[in-house]
């Protein structure tokens, strides 16, 4: 059974409730170590009126304790959630755990705390000096994002960087090749409406094709499709042939993914020396600490990923 460090996320949100409510279920498939100290855990459990399981293993010290303020964005919660994440990474680097699972943080709280990273994936790139790849989805469909948290106006410039895009395509293939079926192709999305209509609606598909050709030369076979028309790439007919897709920008890939598989989707960081998964939802401040029954499918799937890899 793998030992997994679970960073607790923003304690003003729903992460700690997910951890407490689902401990009995996940301990059957992994050995969880929660990156929270006993003082903050006790405070959260009392606010939630959820008892702490006797075998709920925590760490001694994370960061300065603070008063939980349900559904509020605070510097203190940002400091603590980032420290919890750092602890999980440290445990993985020293091989005290077999992987890390991250509960949702609030990006503004990180900013208030002076954290320069926009999210977990950005931080992991710097921690491990490697271009981590963000892939989201479920066993039915996965989407990798070429660009992530950047303004839309900057996407075109990134897409036209043929060398960078080709390296991304090579890295992505090498990280999922063992999961591909024989002759299965990865759906590569175009950027423009109608995939540019032969240049009538944009020329970025020329660079996408060039990057694709470079990647195929390195890989030694044709694994990526020609740039797919984005508005039909995720139709039922297309998904008969493709389980893995590469989107050029954040919403291009995640809007259809969440429309189809919102409740069960997870976030996986590829191209790293460690395995990291996460839920594919946020802190849900609107229901935090309100005695609301949480949908735990994303959380359980994120934990379950360690069992299948």
Region for 197 from its dihedrals, namely left if φ exceeds 0, alpha if ψ lies in -120 to 50, beta otherwise: left
With beta carbons less than 8 A apart as the criterion, state whether 13 and 288 touch: yes
Q: What is the DSSP string of 109-155?
A: HHHHTT---SSHHHHHHHHHTS--EEEEEETTEEEEESS-SS-GGGH
Please check if 121 is assigned to a binding site. Answer: yes
Please check if 267 is assigned to a binding site. Answer: yes
Please check if 194 is assigned to a binding site. Answer: yes
CA dist 160 and 211 (Å) reads 9
Please check if 258 is assigned to a binding site. Answer: yes
DSSP state of 29: T
- What are the CA-CA distances from residue 66 to residues 39, 40, 41, 100, 268 (Å)? 9, 8, 11, 24, 30
Q: Which three-class secondary structure string do you get for 199-239?
A: CCCCCHHHHHHHHHHHHHHHHCCCCECCCECCCCCCCHHHH
What are φ and ψ of residue 147, in 5° steps? -115, 150
SS3 32: strand
Annotation: binding site = 120-121, 149, 194, 250, 258, 267, 276
- Binding annotation for a divalent metal cation: 149, 194, 250
Binding residues for substrate: 120-121, 258, 267, 276
């Amino acid at each position: 059974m793998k030992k997994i460090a679970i960073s607790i996320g923003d304690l003003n949100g729903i992460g700690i409730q997910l951890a407490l409510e689902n401990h009995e279920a996940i301990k059957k498939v992994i050995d969880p170590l929660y990156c929270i100290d006993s003082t903050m855990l006790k405070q959260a459990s009392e606010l939630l009126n959820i008892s702490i399981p006797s075998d709920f293993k925590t760490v001694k010290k994370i960061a300065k304790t603070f008063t939980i303020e349900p559904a509020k964005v605070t510097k203190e919660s940002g400091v603590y959630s980032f420290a919890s994440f750092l602890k999980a990474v440290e445990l993985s680097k020293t091989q005290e755990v077999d992987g890390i699972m991250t509960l949702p943080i609030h990006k503004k709280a990180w900013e208030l705390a002076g954290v320069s990273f926009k999210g977990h994936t950005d931080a992991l790139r710097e921690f491990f000096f490697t271009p981590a790849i963000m892939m989201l989805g479920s066993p039915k469909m996965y989407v990798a994002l070429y660009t992530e948290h950047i303004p839309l106006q900057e996407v075109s410039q990134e897409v036209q960087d043929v060398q960078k895009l080709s390296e991304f395509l090579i890295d992505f293939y090498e990280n999922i090749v063992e999961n591909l079926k024989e002759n299965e192709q990865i759906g590569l999305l175009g950027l423009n409406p109608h995939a540019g209509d032969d240049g009538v609606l944009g020329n970025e598909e020329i660079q996408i094709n060039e990057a694709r050709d470079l990647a195929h030369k390195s890989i030694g076979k044709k694994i990526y499709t020609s740039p797919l028309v984005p508005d039909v790439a995720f139709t039922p007919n297309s998904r008969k042939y493709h389980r893995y897709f590469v989107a050029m920008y954040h919403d291009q890939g995640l809007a259809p993914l969440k429309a189809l598989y919102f409740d069960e989707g997870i976030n996986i960081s590829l191209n790293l020396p460690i395995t990291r998964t996460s839920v594919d939802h946020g802190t849900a401040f609107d229901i935090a600490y309100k005695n609301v029954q949480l949908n735990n499918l994303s959380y359980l799937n994120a934990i379950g990923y360690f069992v299948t890899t």
